[in-house]
């Protein structure tokens, strides 16, 4: 049974007298441990699909099930609780709270869950170890490099042990060297921790770290995975912390 089931989803927007349909009868299955990338030009609906799976938006028609729960039918209150317990979101611009330390930024999603302080501490420590930043726990965002900020953002996304993590252009604001390190990290989390990942990117080379690549073309989802070779294993290369 797929972990994520997108079934015949259509999303429309009305702008003036025009109807825009970024997603037209889209279906997609993701199993636990999958790593998919989603490409497309600006405005093609990449972030729209990401936000639907993240339960930030709702489709006009169709269903989205995550681990058997149809999130399109949950009330706003139940959806907020579901999102806090089951979803991790990696933003392009980090979205760290400047007045909170790295530790406190990572802990933030856990404050919404029924969890003891001791358990929160343990989970934050595990997340910091996963992104190799235990020595930066007490630092504020302004004291971190761009790559370190994004690593903290990734730690925050996985700290609640989510069923699925979505990443919206996670390397879009980073230089090439730092981008490569972040892609290595995402690939390592997928391979070593079995994190289920859907990453939106406009960068073809970045998309290749995923096991399968998809593209949105005129509202339709197209599998563009190159089956002639394997995705590059960035984790086998020597790692440099950023």
Number of Cβ within a 10 Å radius of residue 122: 12
Please enumerate in sequence order all residues whose Cβ is within 8 A of that of 135, keeping only pairs 6 or more positions apart, or say none. none
Q: Determine the pLDDT at residue 235.
A: 52
Q: What is the mean pLDDT of the chain?
A: 91
- pLDDT tens profile 152-168: 999 999 999 999 999 99
User: How far is it, in rounded angstroms, from Cα 96 to Cα 132?
Assistant: 18
- Closest to 197 in 3D by CA, of 221, 170, 164: 164
Q: How is residue 61 written in tokens?
A: 């028609």
Q: Determine the pLDDT at residue 69.
A: 95
Q: Determine the pLDDT at residue 172.
A: 87
**Which stretches of the chain drop beneath a pLDDT of 50?**
236-242
Q: Determine the pLDDT at residue 179.
A: 94
Distances (CA, A) of 133 to 91, 145, 160: 18, 12, 17
Q: Determine the pLDDT at residue 15.
A: 84
Q: Determine the pLDDT at residue 124.
A: 98
Q: Determine the pLDDT at residue 234.
A: 55
Q: Determine the pLDDT at residue 238.
A: 41
Distance of CA 31 to the CA centre of its chain: 15
Q: What domains, with CATH codes, occur in the chain?
A: 4-96+146-228 (3.40.50.300)
Q: How is residue 130 written in tokens?
A: 């996963």
* Length of the chain counted residue by residue: 242
Distances (CA, A) of 117 to 78, 97, 111: 24, 20, 9
Q: What is the pTM of this model?
A: 0.89
Distances (CA, A) of 172 to 68, 150, 175, 202: 32, 11, 8, 8
């Amino acid at each position: 049974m797929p972990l994520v089931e997108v079934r015949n989803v259509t999303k429309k927007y009305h702008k003036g007298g025009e109807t825009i349909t970024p997603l037209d009868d889209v279906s997609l299955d993701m199993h636990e441990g999958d790593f998919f990338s989603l490409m497309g030009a600006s405005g093609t609906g990449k972030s729209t699909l990401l936000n639907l799976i993240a339960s930030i938006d709702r489709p006009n028609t169709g269903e989205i099930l995550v681990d058997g729960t149809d999130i399109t039918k949950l009330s706003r209150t139940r959806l907020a609780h579901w999102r806090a317990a089951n979803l991790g979101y990696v933003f392009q611009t980090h979205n760290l709270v400047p007045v909170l330390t790295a530790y406190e930024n990572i802990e933030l999603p856990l404050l919404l869950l029924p969890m003891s302080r001791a358990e929160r501490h343990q989970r934050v420590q595990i997340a910091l170890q996963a992104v190799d930043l235990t020595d930066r726990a007490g630092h504020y965002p302004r004291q971190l490099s761009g790559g370190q900020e994004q690593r903290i953002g990734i730690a925050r996304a996985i700290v609640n042990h989510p069923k699925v993590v979505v990443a919206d252009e996670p390397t879009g604001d980073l230089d090439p060297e730092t981008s490569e390190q972040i892609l290595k990290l995402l690939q390592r989390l997928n391979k070593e921790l079995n994190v289920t990942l859907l990453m939106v990117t406009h960068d073809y080379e970045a998309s290749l770290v995923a096991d399968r690549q998809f593209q949105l073309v005129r509202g339709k989802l197209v599998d563009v995975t190159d089956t002639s070779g394997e995705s590059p294993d960035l984790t086998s290369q020597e790692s440099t912390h950023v």
